[in-house]
Structure 1
Amino acid sequence: MGLNGVLYSLYTRRLRTQLTGANLPRHVAMVIDGNRRWARQMGFDDPRVGHRYGAEHLHEVLGWCAEYGIRHVTVFLASVDNVRKRDSDEVGNLMRMIEDVVAERLRQPGSRWRVHLAGRLDMLPQSTRHALKLAEEETSGEFHLTIAIGYDGRDEIVNAIRSLLEEEGRAGHGVDDIAQRLTADRLAAHLYTRGQPDPDLVIRTSGERRMSGFLLWQAAYSELHFCDVYWPGFRKVDFLRALRSYAARHRRYGA
């Protein structure tokens, strides 16, 4: 191990010590951004290679989450705009990575993660829908992973309102009655993520400092951490720094 390796090991140990007994998030959501830019930075001729490295890196980061008892993780794999507007070859490559590296590996024996899905699955190729549905149906671990794909937070809220109105209409309730009975909890029961706790901490890689439509409802009171590294280069020390930052904050709901 060279000097850099020794220093990295010592710093990681220091961060672990600082987190001993700390208040850690029970739900971490992540915008895993920067795969193509990382590939260019690393000198790859085809930046799409970054999607494979990013997909493989997800499993390593999930291991870190499990190590620190973070039982709920949500990852933003692809937005509605990613699926609709990017080059078809790039989208096809990304979907294959999700099928072969993400969904397939989560289904392997011994996986500790139970998969949940959030987003417009109807927008995805049939093979990707099938792979993700199998992962959802066949996993039953003690840790929960929500995969946000074909996802847009505004669409989610609109669809939740539509679903609530349709449910109330079938029950024979009028508009005035629906309006009187409407609450945040009742609407949340129609979100893609119903039944899951809201994220305590949202991490975004790549240096971008925006939510990009991710969990707009659920992250209303989340702590935000923006990391200036691309997703495939997101190291354990970066993860531990995010946890340390969270632990140092005093959460003030509604203020």
Structure 2
Amino acid sequence: MTETGIPNHIAIIMDGNGRWAKKRSLQRLRGHEKGADAVRDAVKGCAEIGVRYLTLYAFSSENWNRPIEEINHLMGLFRFFFKKEMKALCDAGVNVKFIGNINKLPDDIQVLIKEVCEATKGNSKLILTIALSYGSQSEIVGAMKSLGEKIKAGELEPNEIDEDMISRYLETDGIPDPDLLIRTSGEKRLSNFLLWQCAYTEFVFLDVLWPDFQKADLQVAVEEYASRQRRYGAL
């Protein structure tokens, strides 16, 4: 947390696109489209109040089980968003990173991801990490396998492994753990998102559906966070 009470790192589970559309008798796809507008508000809002790191849960590893029409629409939305927003992100000083099984995404989206990362790598006002095809359990398993290979090769002793080492083998290496996690739509679970990293994160659950999320909702969550006393297990 910064001296002003602003979280250094906010993570957001962007939930409620489908329910937003259903309430309006629209296709689920329209909810995802509207949700992209809320992403812009979240990024701008965090940059304006001085948040240094923002991580967005955009597409989980479990989302691959959704209907193919919805998956294809989401992929199209990612293409559109990355192409349209690249210059705006650069101009705003946003450094974009990605975590997740990117290799599972369509080839052209993988190319776009590389272009976005390259174009914004020199920026430092806000580090925006987008979790795409991401699952925290799989991430942890991958870290354990990597450590196991080092043990097998004789490069590491089991008793050398500690929490800091495991963190370095996660996809979020170099990114501080979230201070605040926001989940919209009223649901109260992590849904396989940053399980290790959120060990001492403060959670704020908002009833607002993600497409309706605005800077005012971000402010509500940050004020709730600032009112809490983080003890990290101590008195």
TM-score (norm 1): 0.85
Q: Deviations over 1:222-251 (max 9, x none)?
A: 000000011010122211110110000000
2:75 matches 1:92: no
2:156 matches 1:208: no
- Distance between the aligned counterparts of 2:109 and 2:21, measured in 1? 24
- What is the aligned partner in structure 2 of residue 7 from structure 1? none
- What is the aligned partner in structure 1 of residue 173 from structure 2? 194
- What is the aligned partner in structure 2 of residue 51 from structure 1? 32
1:124-203 equivalence runs, <5 A: 124-139=105-120, 140-142=122-124, 143-170=126-153, 172-173=154-155, 178-203=157-182
Q: Percent identity?
A: 38
2:58 matches 1:69: no
- Distance between the aligned counterparts of 1:215 and 1:56, measured in 2? 24
Q: Would you say the 8 A contact 2:41–2:214 is kept in 1?
A: no
Residue identity in the other structure for 2:16? G
- Distance between the aligned counterparts of 1:122 and 1:221, measured in 2? 31
Tell me by how many angstroms 1:103 deviates. 5.5
RMSD: 1.6
Greater Cα radius of gyration, structure 1 or 2: 1
TM-score (norm 2): 0.92
Residue identity in the other structure for 1:149? L
Q: Structure 2 stretches of 5 or more lacking a match? A: none
- Distance between the aligned counterparts of 2:45 and 2:105, measured in 1? 29
Q: Would you say the 8 A contact 1:154–1:213 is kept in 2?
A: yes
Structure 1 outlier segments of 4+, above 2 Å: 106-109, 164-170
Structure 1, 239-248 or 49-58: larger mean CA deviation: 49-58
- What is the aligned partner in structure 1 of residue 227 from structure 2? 248
Would you say how many aligned residue pairs link Structure 1 and Structure 2?
229
Tell me by how many angstroms 1:254 deviates. 2.8
Change (3 A) 1:35 1:165: same
Tell me by how many angstroms 1:40 deviates. 2.0
- Distance between the aligned counterparts of 1:107 and 1:186, measured in 2? 36
Tell me by how many angstroms 1:131 deviates. 1.5
- What is the aligned partner in structure 2 of residue 9 from structure 1? none
- Distance between the aligned counterparts of 1:81 and 1:48, measured in 2? 18
